[in-house]
Each structure stands twice: as C-alpha cells, then as structure tokens.
C-alpha cells in the first residue's frame, strides 16, 4: 500500500536541505518504493501565509500521514512576534498534536570526519551514542507559564517543570528497549539533587529497571553529563533525559561528530509513526546560499525508512552512501577542511543519490 509522507520544509535553509532529502526519496521511488508526498506549511512560512505557525491544514494532513519529513523553523524575521505565534511554536505544536513523545537523536561519528570535530580524534573516534529526549512534556509545555506584572510593577517570567510518572515510564521504556538493541547501557540524566520533578524521574527510571535485568542503568546529573560528553563521550551508549536537558545535550553531542549539520532525529508516537528532522535549526544567516549541509536531513530519511516505513535495507543504503561521499572527500562548508573538495547543498545531495 502506498505510504503517505508529509513534507514540511519550513524556514531558512529548511527548503534547501529538504529538497535534497526528497531527491533521495525520489530515487527509491523509482526503484519501487511506494510513497506519495504531500507538502505543507509550518513555522514562519506558515505564519506568513495563514497567520499561524501550525495551520489546521498541516495538522490534518500530518495526522493521516505515515511519516513526516521536516526541515527547520524560525528566523530573524519572526523574532519580534508574540511567542504564541512564533515559528518554534509550530514545531512544538505538531510534536504535541501528534503525540511524538520519543525523540531519538543518534550521534555517530563518521571516521572520515574525526578531524572536523573540535575534540581530539582519539576522544571521538568510534563514537556511537543515542540520546533519547522526552519531547512533549517538561518545562517546554508545563502550565502555568507566562510573564506577569507584580504588585510593585516589576515583571516576572515563569515556567513550570512538570513530569508525571506515566510520562517518565513511557519514555523510559523506549530508552530501555533501545538499549537492549545496543550495548545494554542506559544513563538517565536528571537534576535530582535540586529538582523534585527529576527526583521523581530518577526514582521512576530505577523502578522501571526491575523489568530490564539485562540493562545496566546509571544516573547522572545534567551538569556532569554535559561535562562528561565533552570529556569522555564514549562512556555512553544510550542516554535518556527530559525535554530541555535533551535539547541542550543533543546540541552538545552533535559537535562531537564534527558538525551539527550531520545529526538526524526521529520523533515517534506510541505506534511508531514518526516525524523526521535534522537536529539543527533554520540557519537564517546562510539561507538561500545553497551552502548548508543536507546530510542531517538525508540521514533523517534513513531513520524514516527504518522506523516508520519498515525499509531498513534502504536505510542502510543511505547511511552507506553518506559514508561513500565522505570517502570521496566531498564536504559542505561546515565540515570542510584542507585537502577536501568543497561542495554546495545540491551537489552534496546529488552525490548521495549517485552513491546509492
Ligand atoms: C530542537 C530545536 C527546537 C527545540 C526549537 C526550534 C523549538 O532546538 O529541535 O532541538 O527546542 O526542541
Ligand atoms: Mg535544539
């Protein structure tokens, strides 16, 4: 049966990188993959056209999709808008509307890029880490929130960090299950020494570990985890953490791999339906220049094939093709170093398609 993929290019470099990922999908389509693509608006692009960053049309088409491919949202142009209609709200809204609570952010170092990392090659060589980020709860969604004016006239901003046991359990299960398919080590990251909500997080993960005797569970405070990620990242196999800590730690982890332009992600609901996007942002400073790295988005298509379309052989082929173009010394600006061949966004996409 033909699978429906909703494509949401978004803002900034989003449309450019998504176009390259679509080339990869089109190549598989020619080889018999039964998919149809439907395009929708999200983020600033949606706001400009409809007055909201997550229009109903997008909600409806995404709800009936088998998978969603997203570029990036946001840009200077929309920074002064009220927070309720800013592009980022569109992204948070689609994650929440589709219940995409499990965000998988693998950080794998391609050996060819060991030199591109700001860390010493021996620190990052062989890195293969999976960050599991809770995506629809925590402080990004907690109520009450806002900015209020106090009696003395001073303004006060406030947000709420809240987690229920059921939310911690369901993300915990995803992380333990992933650890079972990997090296069997799970590190849960919290701030249980200060925050009650994450003390509950820690206790819940510990209780859950009783069902996973084969997994070695450890706990780490987030400040230490940030330090350990840049000190000795290979100690980690799978990390599981809250929405905000996962947001921060995954950017940090991306730099271990040479560039944030290399990291894909999958956001899954309880049934494996997913949205796939690079972890980087819309990079408005380089938008429209055909210079952004499309590999994170192309690798996100690999995750889509593996997790939502049940086509893991095709996913493997994409990952091998990416490795091959790196062997060919092709580099976009973000991963360029001496002796390499600098290529544009579209040249990189074409090279991956050729290498498939
Ligand atoms: C990410 C991004 C988003 C987030 C922003 C754009 C809302 O930083 O996917 O990591 O905070 O989740
Ligand atoms: Mg982020």
- pLDDT (mean) for 265-287: 95
Alpha-carbon distance 131 to 112, whole Å? Answer: 22
The whole-model pTM stands at 0.94
The tokens of 309 are what? 């379309």
Our answer on whether the CB atom of 334 is closer than 6 Å to any ligand 1 atom is: no
Residue 201 contacts residue 220 (beta carbons within 8 Å) = no
Q: Name the active-site residue from 163, 247, 276, 307.
A: 247
Q: What is the pLDDT of residue 259?
A: 86
Cβ atoms < 10 Å from Cβ of 251: 15
Pairing relation of β-strands 274-278 and 67-72? Answer: parallel
Q: Is 254 helix (H, G, I), strand (E, B) or coil?
A: helix
- DSSP characters over 216-244: EEEEEEHHHHHHHHHH-GGG-SEEEE-HH
Mean pLDDT of the chain: 96
Q: What is the pLDDT of residue 289?
A: 98
Q: pLDDT tier at 352 (50, 70, 90 boundaries)?
A: very high
**Phi, psi (5° rounding) for residue 234?**
-75, -5
Please name the residue whose Cα sits nearest to atom 8 of ligand 1.
247
Q: Name the active-site residue from 57, 211, 223, 316.
A: 223
Residue 186 contacts residue 175 (beta carbons within 8 Å) = yes
Q: Which atom of ligand 1 is nearest to the CA of 91?
A: 7
Read off the pLDDT of residues 110-153 as tens digits, 9 standing for 90 and up: 989 988 888 999 999 999 999 999 999 999 999 999 999 999 99
In the block, residue with structure tokens 């009696």: 151
Q: What is the pLDDT of residue 11?
A: 98
Alpha-carbon distance 9 to 42, whole Å? Answer: 8
Q: What is the pLDDT of residue 115?
A: 82
Q: Name the active-site residue from 47, 66, 89, 191.
A: 191
Per-residue exposure over 324-351, b if at least 16 CB sit within 10 Å of its own CB, e if not? bbbeeebbbbbbbeeebeebbbebbbbb
Alpha-carbon distance 92 to 100, whole Å? Answer: 10
- pLDDT (mean) for 288-292: 98
Read off the pLDDT of residues 85-94 as tens digits, 9 standing for 90 and up: 999 999 999 9
Among 28-42, 117-131, 251-265, top mean pLDDT goes to 28-42
Our answer on whether the CB atom of 279 is closer than 6 Å to any ligand 1 atom is: yes
On the question of a cis peptide bond just before residue 195, with omega within 30 degrees of 0, the verdict is: no
Tally the residues of the chain. Answer: 356
Q: Which atom of ligand 1 is nearest to the CA of 73?
A: 6
Q: How far is CA 332 from CA 272, 326, 340, 347, in A?
A: 32, 10, 10, 9
Domains assigned to the chain: 1-101+269-356 (3.40.718.10), 107-133+167-262 (3.40.50)
Lowest mean pLDDT among 113-117, 214-218, 285-289: 113-117
Q: pLDDT tier at 61 (50, 70, 90 boundaries)?
A: very high
Give the whole-number percent of the chain exceeding pLDDT 90. 95
């Amino acid at each position: 049966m033909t699978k429906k993929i909703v494509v949401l290019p978004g803002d900034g470099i989003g449309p450019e990188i998504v176009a390259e990922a679509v080339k990869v999908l089109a190549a598989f389509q020619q080889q018999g993959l039964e998919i149809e693509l439907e395009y929708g608006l999200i983020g600033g692009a949606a706001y400009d056209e409809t007055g909201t960053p997550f229009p109903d049309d997008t909600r409806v088409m995404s709800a009936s999709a088998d998978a969603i491919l997203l570029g990036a949202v946001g840009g200077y142009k929309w920074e002064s808008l009220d927070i309720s209609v800013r592009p980022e709200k569109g992204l948070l809204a689609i994650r929440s509307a589709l219940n995409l609570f499990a965000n998988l952010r693998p950080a794998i170092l391609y050996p060819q890029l060991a030199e591109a990392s700001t860390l010493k090659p021996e620190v990052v060589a062989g890195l293969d880490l999976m960050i599991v980020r809770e995506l629809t709860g925590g402080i990004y969604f907690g109520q009450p929130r806002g900015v209020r004016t106090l009696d003395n006239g001073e303004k006060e901003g406030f947000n709420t960090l809240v987690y229920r046991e059921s939310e911690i359990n369901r993300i915990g299960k995803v992380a333990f299950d992933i650890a079972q398919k990997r090296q069997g080590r799970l590190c849960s990251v919290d701030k249980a020494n200060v925050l009650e909500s994450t003390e509950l997080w820690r206790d819940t993960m510990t209780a859950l570990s009783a069902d996973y005797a084969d997994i070695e569970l450890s706990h780490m405070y987030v400040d230490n985890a940030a330090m350990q990620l840049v000190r000795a990242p290979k100690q980690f196999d799978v990390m599981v953490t809250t929405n905000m800590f996962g947001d921060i730690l995954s950017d940090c982890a991306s730099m271990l791999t040479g560039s944030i332009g290399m990291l894909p992600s999958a956001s899954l609901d309880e049934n494996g339906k997913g949205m796939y996007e690079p972890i980087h942002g819309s990079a408005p400073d380089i938008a429209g220049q055909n210079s952004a790295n499309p590999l994170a988005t192309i690798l996100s298509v690999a995750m889509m094939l593996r997790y939502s379309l049940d086509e893991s052989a095709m996913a493997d082929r994409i990952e091998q093709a990416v490795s091959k173009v790196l062997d060919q010394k092709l580099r976009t600006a973000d991963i360029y170093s001496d002796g390499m061949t600098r290529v544009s966004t579209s040249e990189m996409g074409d090279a991956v398609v050729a290498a498939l």
